[in-house]
A and B are shown apart, each in its own frame.
Chain A
Amino acid sequence: MAATEGLALSIRGVSKVFPTPEGGEVRALDDVSLEVADGSFMVLLGPSGCGKTTLLRCIAGLEAPDSGQIDLKGTRIDDVPVWKRRVNTVFQSYALFPHMTVAQNIAFGLQMDKLPKDEVARKVDQSLALVRLSDLGGRRPHQLSGGQQQRVALARALAKEPEVLLLDEPLSALDLKLRRGMQLELKRLQQETHITFILVTHDQDEAMSMGDEVAVFNEGRIVQVGAPRDVYLRPRTSFVADFIGEANLLALIPGAAGAEVAGWGAIPADAWASDSPAADASRSVAAVRPEDVVISADPQGRFPIVDATFIGGDLHAVVQVGEATISARQPAASAAGLTTGGRCELTFRPGSVRIVDA
């Protein structure tokens, strides 16, 4: 099929509803469509309960979608049982087999493929080397640290050379320092193996630093897909703007000179991002990053500074504008005279204000 060439995975109109114990239902996936390029690193990002893990489990076959279609390399797989899919998963809890050694854990999946013994042994060694655990093949999982268990889970899944590797919040159980190291490690593994990775996370920094593409989830829907930088610079909804990085969401009111921020005034033409949609009655929320808000100390200024705090080399300020507050961030060097309780003037950097869907 020409349409699916270069695609590892194609998901079309997948929905999944779960009953709740109270007798209601939760729409975990609501008509979700997504295409994942072959050999790419896709991150599914969203708050907990947004459906991203359900989608991952539908791809793995651990959950059956109510409707929709999932194609792996152009072949429909949503009716194929889990043990026959050329897709493997790294579970959040690692799910290592406690009664087997590290090497036996990795060999398990290869034995299921009925590979000859020497082939299994060779691939086990190869996988252990890939995750740098060659000396620990004889250990039991409970004799390993969390980070090492994580690597075994990775090696076990990668040994099967899946078309797509699914990672369900793989780093959430690790402490911060270890997590940073594993992020780099995962990125390296993905580039070395050329296997398509789909990683689920609620950590936007993780998504930004690892993904070739990010799909942002909210309430069972994918609200935006794109390269991390693109999603950051051009958020389409207020949810995306606020969830990825920080954003001021400005409520706009119609004014004589165009859209106005209540208590501040009409937004000047040069402040708008060049590709921002136009403001109208149905699109009345604008997003602007704190680093694009410029404030300057002015005793006669219109706006009181509610809070001014230095964090690292930056000043983080919260300014009262009308009924609302606007956050600003700027280098400490250009923050002279800005103190809590003082007054200031406030402007937006050129090209920084963008209309988003509420």
Chain B
Amino acid sequence: MRTPRGTGTSLKNFPLFGPIAAVVFAFLYIPLVFVVGYSFNSNRVVTVWKGFSLEWYADVLTNDDIQRAVMNSLRVASISTVLSVLFATGLAIGLLRMARAGRTFAWSLIMAPLVIPEIVFAIGTLALFVQIRFPLGVDAITLAHTAFCIPFALLPIRARLRTVDLSIYEAAADLGANEWTIFRRITLPLLAPGIVAGALLAFIISLDDFIVSYFLAGAGGTTLPVYIFGMIRNAITPGVNALSTLLLLVSVVIVTISYIIARRKR
């Protein structure tokens, strides 16, 4: 454990620091260990270890329904990531140019989805789509995901934008660049790390969303989390563990990529 720098007191001096930390980490990670570990269990009864096996992975990867759900999830996540990043980039730049009062108001409106209960958003969206007769399914889910991914994509983009000295844009104009050239050669390259981080965040948020997807899935719109939920309705099978482990792996890979990018660009 690293001791905090610059202060005289170490965290370790707080009473029970070690035990509390251990309990917190145990609570966070034991379920994951359980899921990953039992995904390799050859026993059909989930909680009884019998021996090492990859049969559930083979099972999962050859299941047509699961493949369809994965394709749905990837399609929803990819399209809503692209759309939400486009909106978020425009918003970040637009916010920069607004007057202070309007900016605070606009920012609150954009960030509200972060605190609105997701179930409320899901019911509202469902009601809207039924009202305007928009067919439920993958497209409906994509639209809804785009909407609630915008604030997640916006956070890192705006954080990045705020580190840029405003006189850099003035310098570019002073050297003969018009608005479009400034955007293409100065703003966009400087924002790139924020845009990548925002995109990865939006992708993950969309990929593992359950509530909104469940409400809007309709007939052919089953995404992976919705499918997994269907699987455990009856019982937790080893197949669920294998599938969950794969989903976890995707998340870990994406977060790692975003971490590496953030470090390298600093």
The answer to whether B175 and A160 touch across the interface, beta carbons within 8 angstroms, is yes
The answer to whether A97 and B172 touch across the interface, beta carbons within 8 angstroms, is yes
Residues of the B chain whose Cβ atoms lie less than 8 Å from the Cβ of A97: 168, 171-172, 186
Binds A, one of B8-16, B34-42, B176-184: B176-184
Selected from B165, B175, B185, the residue in CB contact (under 8 A) with A88 is B175
Q: Which A residues, 80 to 99, have Cβ-Cβ distances below 8 Å to chain B?
A: 81-84, 87-89, 91-93, 95-99
Residues of the A chain whose Cβ atoms lie less than 8 Å from the Cβ of B171: 89, 91, 95-97
Contact flag A108-B174 (CB < 8 Å), given A95-B165, A99-B189: no
Min CB distance B63 to A, Å, is 46
The answer to whether A62 and B176 touch across the interface, beta carbons within 8 angstroms, is no
The answer to whether B186 and A109 touch across the interface, beta carbons within 8 angstroms, is no
A60, B173: Cα distance in complex, Å? 10
Residues of the B chain whose Cβ atoms lie less than 8 Å from the Cβ of A89: 170-171, 174
The answer to whether B174 and A62 touch across the interface, beta carbons within 8 angstroms, is yes
The answer to whether B176 and A99 touch across the interface, beta carbons within 8 angstroms, is no
Residue of A nearest to B100 (CB): A21
Residue of A nearest to B190 (CB): A99
Interface centre among B165, B173, B189 (most CB of A within 10 A): B173
The answer to whether B177 and A91 touch across the interface, beta carbons within 8 angstroms, is no
The answer to whether A95 and B178 touch across the interface, beta carbons within 8 angstroms, is no
The answer to whether A112 and B174 touch across the interface, beta carbons within 8 angstroms, is no
* A156 touches B (CB below 8 Å): yes
* B167 touches A (CB below 8 Å): yes
Interface centre among A61, A83, A113, A160 (most CB of B within 10 A): A83
Min CB distance B182 to A, Å, is 9
Residues of the B chain whose Cβ atoms lie less than 8 Å from the Cβ of A108: 172, 175, 177, 185
Give the dominant DSSP class at B's interface: helix
A60, B185: Cα distance in complex, Å? 21
A88, B172: Cα distance in complex, Å? 10
The answer to whether A93 and B174 touch across the interface, beta carbons within 8 angstroms, is no
The answer to whether B167 and A156 touch across the interface, beta carbons within 8 angstroms, is no
The answer to whether B190 and A98 touch across the interface, beta carbons within 8 angstroms, is yes
A89, B170: Cα distance in complex, Å? 9
A98, B185: Cα distance in complex, Å? 12
Residue of A nearest to B186 (CB): A97
The answer to whether B190 and A160 touch across the interface, beta carbons within 8 angstroms, is no
Min CB distance A30 to B, Å, is 24
Min CB distance A53 to B, Å, is 12
The answer to whether B178 and A83 touch across the interface, beta carbons within 8 angstroms, is yes
Residues of the A chain whose Cβ atoms lie less than 8 Å from the Cβ of B173: 61-62, 82-83
Residue of B nearest to A92 (CB): B167
| Mask: chain A, 228-262; 1 = CB below 8 Å from B; 0 = not | 00000000000000000000000000000000000
Residue of A nearest to B164 (CB): A98
Min CB distance B264 to A, Å, is 13
Contact flag A91-B170 (CB < 8 Å), given A97-B186, A98-B190: yes
A112, B177: Cα distance in complex, Å? 6
| Mask: chain B, 99-110; 1 = CB below 8 Å from A; 0 = not | 000000000000
Min CB distance A156 to B, Å, is 7
The answer to whether B190 and A156 touch across the interface, beta carbons within 8 angstroms, is no
Contact flag A156-B189 (CB < 8 Å), given A62-B170, A93-B165, A97-B168: no
Min CB distance B12 to A, Å, is 36
Selected from A81, A83, A87, A93, the residue in CB contact (under 8 A) with B167 is A93
A89, B186: Cα distance in complex, Å? 17
Min CB distance B104 to A, Å, is 14
A95, B167: Cα distance in complex, Å? 6
Min CB distance A119 to B, Å, is 15
Residues of the B chain whose Cβ atoms lie less than 8 Å from the Cβ of A113: 176
Residue of A nearest to B175 (CB): A109
| Mask: chain A, 27-41; 1 = CB below 8 Å from B; 0 = not | 000000000000000
A353, B167: Cα distance in complex, Å? 46
A156, B177: Cα distance in complex, Å? 14
A83, B172: Cα distance in complex, Å? 8
A87, B176: Cα distance in complex, Å? 10
The answer to whether B176 and A112 touch across the interface, beta carbons within 8 angstroms, is yes
A87, B171: Cα distance in complex, Å? 12
Min CB distance B201 to A, Å, is 22
A148, B186: Cα distance in complex, Å? 22
Residues of the A chain whose Cβ atoms lie less than 8 Å from the Cβ of B167: 91-93, 95
| Mask: chain B, 186-201; 1 = CB below 8 Å from A; 0 = not | 1001100000000000
A221, B67: Cα distance in complex, Å? 75
Min CB distance B176 to A, Å, is 3
Min CB distance A322 to B, Å, is 51
Residue of A nearest to B169 (CB): A95
Interface centre among B170, B178, B186 (most CB of A within 10 A): B170
Min CB distance A61 to B, Å, is 8
A88, B170: Cα distance in complex, Å? 11
Residues of the A chain whose Cβ atoms lie less than 8 Å from the Cβ of B185: 108
The answer to whether B177 and A83 touch across the interface, beta carbons within 8 angstroms, is yes
Residues of the B chain whose Cβ atoms lie less than 8 Å from the Cβ of A157: 174-175
* A residues at B contact (CB < 8 Å): 60-62, 81-84, 87-89, 91-93, 95-99, 108-109, 112-113, 156-157, 160
Closest 3 CB pairs of A and B: A112-B176, A109-B175, A95-B171
5 new A-B pairs (CB below 8 Å) besides A95-B168, A99-B190? A81-B178, A83-B174, A108-B185, A109-B175, A112-B177
A-B contacts, 11 of them at CB < 8 A, read A62-B174, A84-B176, A87-B174, A88-B174, A89-B171, A89-B174, A93-B167, A98-B190, A108-B172, A109-B176, A160-B175
